[in-house]
Amino acid sequence: MKKLHVLVLLLCTVAGTTVLSAETYQDLGTDFALVVTETPYAKAETNSASSVTVIDREQIASWQVETASQLIERAIGTSFKSYGALGSAQTVQIRGSGSDKTLVFLNGVPLGSAHEGTYDIAQIPVAMIERIEIIKSGPGNLGRTNAIGGMINIITTVEQSKKSAQSFTLQIENGSFLPLAYGPSSERNWLSLVDSKRTDLSYRTMIRDLNMLITLGDIRAANAYTYIDAGERALRTGAAMQKVYGGLSLNGEFSPQLSYDSNSLVSWQIAGVPGSLSYPTQAEQEDLQVTTSHEFAIASDPEAVFSHQAVVLSGTFEQRKYSGDTHNKIRSYTQYRQQWNVPEAYALESGVDVTADFIDSTKLDHISRIVPSIYLHGGIYFGDGSLSIHPSAQLRYIHDTHTFSPNASVGLVYGFNDLTVVRASVSYAEQIPTFSQLYWPEEWGYHGNPDLKTEKGFNGDVGITWEGDTLHYEGSVFTRNVDDAIIGDPDNNYIPYNIAHALFLGTEQTVTYSPEDRISFSVSYQYNRSFDLSGTNTFSDAIEVSSVRRHTAKASVSYHPESWNFSLFAEYLGANTEVEAAVLVNLNAAIDISEQATFSVAIDNLLNTSYELYADYPMPGTKIRTSGTIRF
């Protein structure tokens, strides 16, 4: 059986998927990767042949979504789980892999903690995001690591620009749920017309040679939406939330040799957390997060060993209060990396970093995890650069489990011509069990499992990109094999345990047609076949991994005549073992009233579909959001 699995992995790796050719020996990392509608401007010294999607600032402004998770979901191959409306935890999955296997970074700095292994991406306000890089395979532009389930890198950095006048941007939004009748008395909740309010204020300026962006925001929502329960329309109650946040970004050059990049974020949220429909108990949850990151980059003499060096210092503090318990999480991250002066047909980056997690919890007491690592990442270019190979390797040591953990990948890029590029990559990554999975005390029958093994995952990805004047095509074939995968046992209070392994085989296809600058059409489809090969399960048993959708389709239309901006996004979410299939449609429209003012309307869930992203937690129906933006 193992020989068959290896054969399948090799076939899928050799079969066919996307990347890039280099016109010069220095790549622009994601420049050839899958883009949702626009050409990305993310840059890296070397590329890894990874499958990457980039969502840029223009798309973010056009789509007018409420949370960062909804932005990420626009890309094929990605989805998110949510426990309900605005303020609920939202975690992202890539190609069906669990959110605990997906790493989240803020400007290249790892977020989350060793406590639960996931990160609520909705914590990062959309107003602060400059672009998002979704890395589906290999290390991508981050270079130093890769994950079993892929990575999300959210960038808030202000793009460096010439010194300009100070500018303010103020945006105010009101969200309305339809006041539908509910219950046997046919009551209506007219306050749903003013259900949510959001205010964002940003200020851009220059301090000497540093770009500065300050962001302040506030979100309040009653989340009093209707849903279908046992055939009757009911009103969701006890789900109100309030959130305030602020951010500061600084970047620029102190001198031709020294540059600085700093990003800080603070957010505080208090939310009602209604239980599932089966257990509708309610509680109040309070979340505080403070994170700050500082990078100093040094350009060396052309004759020096290193052409560039950088030091990154980052710290994050999170506090969550829920059901009488308090979880304090502190994470520090330090990185020193170097780009080597090598012949132009080569590129090499190396580095060391240390991540330290400290947990003080009423459930887990005091636990710490320190993880030092070293890595190498590079590229070798042949001939005119149309053929290149990109190896990457990392070795970590996890001090609380006393284990060494390797990660490695190799990618190949070949440009047939100016229009067609082929990419292939294979990678190996490990996922260490979290503190909750290992040490959670017994409660309601649930508890951690100290005997858990490290998860081990192989990813293979092959693809092709064709770029014409008006037509863009990107297709890929991917596979993922996870040994000792950790899942919750449904027959034993979902206590985590290792299964033999799980296998994923799939393909992604995207076609974008732009007959002119003002209009664009895009259609994407993903087929993801999964096999739960735990115990005595075999391929012939055809038991799928829970929460994995076999079929997903997404389509969008963007139209920008003169001062107007229209966009329509639709998606089909196929059923899985936990939730039913759903068709969702979102519509956005905006008009520039003047150079200083914009008015927009967004209709979420236009079809008023009843659906769930997490079993037994109903999502909202139609919501109409109107907003105004003033720049001064």
Residues 179 and 123 occupy one common structural domain: no
- What pLDDT score was predicted for residue 28? 30
pLDDT at 583 over 90: yes
Structural domain includes residue 10: no
User: Do 411 and 494 fall into the same domain?
Assistant: yes
The verdict on 567 and 494 lying in the same domain is: yes
Least confident of 9-18, 76-85, 197-206, 331-340: 9-18
CA-closest candidate to residue 9, choices 548, 501, 577: 501
Rounded Cα distance between 227 and 610, Å, is 7
Q: Indicate which CATH number applies to the domain containing 99.
A: 2.170.130.10
- Which pLDDT value is given to residue 619? 94
Among 105, 128, 155, the domain boundary falls at 155
The last residue of one of the domains, among 106, 129, 155, is 155
Q: From the CB of residue 159, how many other CB atoms can be counted at a distance below 10 Å?
A: 12
How far, in Å, CA of 387 to CA of 409, rounded? Answer: 17
Asked whether residue 161 is domain-assigned, the answer is no
Q: How confident is the model at residue 47 (pLDDT cuts 50, 70, 90)?
A: low
pLDDT of amino acid 545: 85
pLDDT in tens, 451-466: 999 999 999 999 899 9
Residues 426/392, Cβ–Cβ less than 8 Å: no
The whole-number pLDDT of residue 165 equals 63
Residue 386 has pLDDT above 50, yes or no: yes
Mean pLDDT along residues 400-412:
93
Mean pLDDT of 576-599: 93
* Region 426-450 average pLDDT: 87
Q: For residue 213, list its beta bridge partners.
A: 204, 249
Q: Are residues 81 and 194 in the same domain?
A: no
Same domain, 390 and 510: yes
- Is 43's pLDDT higher than 50? no
Pairing type for strands 103-106 and 151-155 reads parallel
pLDDT (tens digit per residue) in 150-179: 899 998 866 645 445 668 999 999 999 999
DSSP, collapsed to helix, strand or coil, labels residue 3 as: helix
141, 242: one domain = no
Give 46 or 13, the one with higher predicted confidence: 46
Q: Tens of pLDDT along 335-365?
A: 999 989 888 888 899 999 999 999 998 888 8
Higher pLDDT, 54 or 506: 506
Query: What pLDDT is stored for residue 175 in this prediction?
Result: 96
Element (DSSP H or E) covering residue 403: strand 403-415
The more confident residue out of 187 and 279 is 187
pLDDT of residue 277: 84
Lowest-pLDDT choice from 26-40, 299-313, 319-333, 470-484: 26-40
> Stretch 377-390: mean pLDDT, rounded?
86
Residues 139 and 240 in one domain: no
Q: What is the mean pLDDT of residues 456-477?
A: 92
Q: Are 503 and 481 in contact (CB under 8 A)?
A: yes
31 assigned to some structural domain: yes
CATH number at residue 486: 2.40.170.20
Same domain, 218 and 107: no
Q: Find the mean pLDDT for residues 126-137.
A: 88
Helix (H, G, I), strand (E, B) or coil at 191: helix
Q: Are residues 180 and 120 in the same domain?
A: no
Q: Are 230 and 105 contained in the same domain?
A: no
Query: E strands along 277-305, which residues?
Result: 282-299
Residue 278 belongs to what domain range? Answer: 167-631
Q: Same domain for 209 and 131? A: no
Instruction: Answer whether residue 6 is part of any domain.
Output: no
| Distance linking the first and last C-alpha atoms of the chain | 66
* pLDDT for res 403: 93
Short-list 238, 76, 68, CA closest to 156: 68
Choosing from 95, 127, 155, the residue where a domain stops is: 155
Give the strand pairing for 226-229 and 232-235.
Answer: antiparallel
Share of the chain above pLDDT 90, in %: 48
Pair (385, 470) in one structural domain = yes
Looking at every residue in the chain, the average pLDDT score rounds to 85
Query: Which of 14-18, 101-105, 394-398 is the least confident region?
Result: 14-18
Question: 41-45, 128-132, 403-407 — which one is most confidently predicted on average?
Answer: 403-407
Q: Exposed, middle or buried: residue 270 (CB in 10 Å: 0-12, 13-18, 19+)?
A: middle
Residue in the block written with tokens 């290149």: 388
Number of domains, the chain: 2
Give Cα separations from 156 to 206, 250, 474, 591 (angstroms): 16, 10, 27, 26
